[in-house]
Every structure is written in C-alpha cells, then in structure tokens.
Amino acid sequence: MKKYKSVAVLGTQWGDEGKGKITNLLALEADYVVRYQGGNNAGHSISINGKRFALHLLPSGVLNEGVKNVIANGVVVDLEGLLKEINYVKEAINVDRVNLLISDRAHIVLPYHKIIDALQEDNKGVRKIGTTKKGIGPAYADKVSREGIRIADLYDETLFKSLLKENVKSKNELIKLYGGSERVSFTKLYNQLMEYREEIRDYVVDTSKLIFDELNSGKKVLFEGAQGVLLDIEHGTYPFVTSSSPSSSSIPVNVGIPTYMISNSIGIVKAYSTRVGTGGFPTEIDDDISKYIREKGNEFGTTTGRPRRVGWFDSVLVRHAARVSGLTHISLTLLDVLSGLDKVKIATHYELDGKKVDTILAGETDFNNSKPVYVEIDGWKEDITNVKSYKQLPKNAKEYIKLIEKYTGVKVYQFSVGPNRDQTVTLGKKIF
C-alpha cells in the first residue's frame, strides 16, 4: 500500500500540551498544515526568535514562509475572529496575504452562539463545564441539528438570507428563554456577514478534494489537532469536554479523506498534567509544587488567561490517548519545567474501592474517585534549557523519559526544554 506523507499532531491530555510550537516546527518541512476541528477556543502560542505569537483559529504554519494552511470542514469558524487573526499575522510577519484556504463546508460561529454559550453555562448546575464562551458548543449543536450555516451558504444569497433570518429569530427566543437580555439584530448581522464574505472569498475552496489530491501527488501534509484527546466529545472525560473530536481518528471525517491516508500520529505529551475548566483530575495537586509548576510553566490560559489546574504525569490518560488515536510517536514537552523538584512522580494506574483500574472509567463519579498509584523517582536540579541532545540530560531526567515510554507504550521521539523552536531535541529519524 502506498505510504502517504502525512502526520497528525495532537494533544494527548486536556489541551495546552505545547502543540503550537511542535506543529510550527514540523510545519517547516510540510507543504500543508490542516486544522481539522475546534475553533477559536484553542490557544496556540508559538515563540520565534524570542517573540511570542498567540494563534486561536489559524493553523500553526501561518507564520512559516511557503507553507499552505487549511481550515478543514470539521472546524467551526468565527469570521470576526478569523479576520482579526489574519490581520494580526499579516502585521506580525509583514505580508499582504496569509497563505490560507478555508473549507466551503466549514460551519460558522455567529454572535448568538457566543451569547447562548455563556447563558447555558450560567444556567447549568452540576454540569457547569467552564467553556471558553466562544460559542463552540452551540455552533456544533446547530451543525448536528442541521440548523447550522456553512461558509458556502454565505454565497447563496437568497438561501442565506432566509437561513439567517430563521436562525436569528429562534436564537433570540432561546436567549430570552435563558433569561438573557441581549438580542441579535438580523439586519446588522446580515450586513456584517456580507462584508466578511467578500474578505474571505479568495480563501474558500473544497479542501477535501484539495488535500486528497495533494496527498496523492506526494505532498507533505500535517494535520493539526486543537485541544486534546481528553477533551474529545467521543473519547474524553465527558461531559467536561469540548464539542469536537481532537483524536486523530476523527481526521478522515473532519477533513474528508480516507483513513488510509493518515500515516503517522504524534501525540504531544506534557511532562506533567494540566486542566482548565471543571471535571475530574485524579493526579491534581494543589500545594507548593503545583504553584512552582504553574509559575515556571506559565500555566495560564492563552485564550482566557485562567490559571490552569496542575497535577503529576498520568500514564493512564496518555495510554488511553495512545489507543484511541493510534499514536506512533510521542513529543514530550515542558520537561524543563520539572527541573528543581526533589522528587517527580508518574501515575501508573488507579485504585478504586481497593481494585486496580488501568483505564479511564466512563462513570463520572468513578473517574473522580479513582486514586492514582505512583512511581516516584528523584528529580534533577540542573537547568536543562540549553540541552541539545539526550546524552546531555541529567540521569534522572533520562530515567523519567524511560518511565514515560514504559508506561505509555510509545517511544519518545522528541523532547522539549523551552518555548523556542530550537529548544527541541529530536531523537528519531525525520518524520516526513
């Protein structure tokens, strides 16, 4: 069977694993970077030559010269956010046009989705999720209930006008039902969208056909996941998840290509665990160590600024991600953040009611009550931010990597010791 030059890069925990930097680095060799799910709820930060860039919706290859970037059908697109980000990138890298293509089948996020997202959160009891309030859940809900508006619909003026009119009417009713005081004006929104559609017109294509053809002709394609497997609507810690599927198993559907075209799957694995929003977190810690890690790792949300919850590395979670996403490689990030700790711990499995548990249990309460069982080793004191090879790592850091490989069952292909691209050490042979 033909081997396609494709690699999926995805988060294996609850997001914020440092995907932006790794994707951007791998994108140096790619012809295409394709975002396949989520929207501007994501926050990817990338440092190039000491300068930090924050991206939300645009694929992480937009800052690299010569790489084509694609927003595929599985993404939900907030046009206002998209256009702002396009301008931000144009200024940042001093170009007239960003190298971008957008699927004509992608759904759009509209102002009423954001209002409803916030109201739904305010009205929730035990299932308050702590969403980013970017309208992601309501936009995907419209998509599956077949009330959504796609990019292609913007160019079918008669249909679009009635679609938007119906939607604005029903959404204003819903807002009222939730007790919200805001109302969306059809005329204002319609006029705004008519302007936006002209601004994006040149970017819009059938991206499914494009990627299929390009892979067939030998082009190198990188699929960029947002969030992480544990936030996956299907395979995450439901209901405290996002509304799309970051797992690489979703790429064929979200991009419109056959499953056999995905050759490699790199799981981005943070050297410890973090989570934003609510939901179970077996290895969570709240003490001087978590404070140390939060400050040192700058564990504050890129999109919301919220402090992230912090915990020890949990191999149960990463084994789960490896299974549902078929990980072929691990890229281990933020290893430098652990320098200076006396001891470091890895959860190997859980215990629940005296029994060993080595998977994520589906029941919310069972998962919340799963108690981690750890292996503990001595930490390392050395600053490793200038390490350029595996050999240069302190002995205990090497042991830590070996334990991660042992308990996740996946080889560490790369490790990262700082925010810059050149603070990444690659161990295996080139992926493309």
134 binds ligand IMP (CB under 6 A): yes
270 binds ligand IMP (CB under 6 A): no
Q: Which is nearer to ligand IMP, 39 or 61 (CB)?
A: 39
Q: Which is nearer to ligand IMP, 137 or 311 (CB)?
A: 137
Closest contact distance (angstroms) between CB of 45 and ligand IMP is 11
Residues 399-418 that bind ligand IMP (CB under 6 A): none
Assess whether 44 carries a catalytic annotation.
yes
Q: Which is nearer to ligand IMP, 62 or 341 (CB)?
A: 62
How many C-alpha atoms does 339 have within 13 Å on its Cβ side? 20
Among 23, 131, 250, 348, binds ligand IMP (CB under 6 A): 131
Closest contact distance (angstroms) between CB of 260 and ligand IMP is 29
Among 27, 33, 221, 231, binds ligand IMP (CB under 6 A): 231
Closest contact distance (angstroms) between CB of 43 and ligand IMP is 5
Q: Which is nearer to ligand IMP, 243 or 408 (CB)?
A: 243
Among 41, 73, 315, 331, binds ligand IMP (CB under 6 A): 41
Other beta carbons within 10 angstroms of residue 122's beta carbon come to: 11
242 binds ligand IMP (CB under 6 A): yes
64 binds ligand IMP (CB under 6 A): no
Please, which residues bridge with residue 344 across strands?
377
The residue whose two tokens read 């652990």 is 338
| Those residues with Cβ within 8 angstroms of residue 10's Cβ, 6 or more apart along the chain or in another chain | 19, 223, 224, 225, 228, 229, 246, 247, 248, 265, 266, 267, 268, 325
116 binds ligand IMP (CB under 6 A): no
Looking at residue 116, its amino acid is I
Using the rule CB under 6 A, give the single segment among 235-243, 248-256, 322-330, 410-418 that binds ligand IMP: 235-243
Q: Which is nearer to ligand IMP, 23 or 242 (CB)?
A: 242
Distance CA 270, CA 415 (A): 10
How many C-alpha atoms does 107 have within 13 Å on its Cβ side? 26
The number of residues that bind ligand IMP (CB under 6 A) is: 21
15 binds ligand IMP (CB under 6 A): yes
Assess whether 342 carries a catalytic annotation.
no
333 binds ligand IMP (CB under 6 A): no
Distance CA 228, CA 15 (A): 4
Give the Å distances, CA to CA, from 290 to 4, 368, 397. Answer: 42, 19, 19
Cβ pair 120, 137 in contact under 8 A:
yes
The continuous run of DSSP H or E covering 141 comes out as helix 136-144
Helix (H, G, I), strand (E, B) or coil at 342: coil
Q: Which is nearer to ligand IMP, 5 or 309 (CB)?
A: 309
Closest contact distance (angstroms) between CB of 242 and ligand IMP is 3
40 binds ligand IMP (CB under 6 A): no
344 binds ligand IMP (CB under 6 A): no
DSSP secondary structure, 17-76, as one string: SSHHHHHHHHGGG-SEEEE-SB-TT--EEEEETTEEEEESSS-TTTTSTT-EEEE-TTBE
Give the Å distances, CA to CA, from 261 to 33, 228, 431. Answer: 15, 21, 15
Please, which residues bridge with residue 310 across strands?
274, 285
- Which residue of the chain is nearest ligand IMP when measured via CB? 277
Please, which residues bridge with residue 146 across strands?
none
Among 8, 42, 318, 431, binds ligand IMP (CB under 6 A): 42
Q: Which is nearer to ligand IMP, 244 or 339 (CB)?
A: 244
16, 31, 142, 153: which one is catalytic? 16
20 binds ligand IMP (CB under 6 A): no
Q: Which two three-digit tokens encode residue 303?
A: 């999109």
Please, which residues bridge with residue 205 across strands?
103
Catalytic residues: 16, 44
> Where along the sequence are the contacts to ligand IMP (CB under 6 A)?
14-16, 41-43, 129-132, 134, 136-137, 226-227, 231, 240, 242-243, 276-277
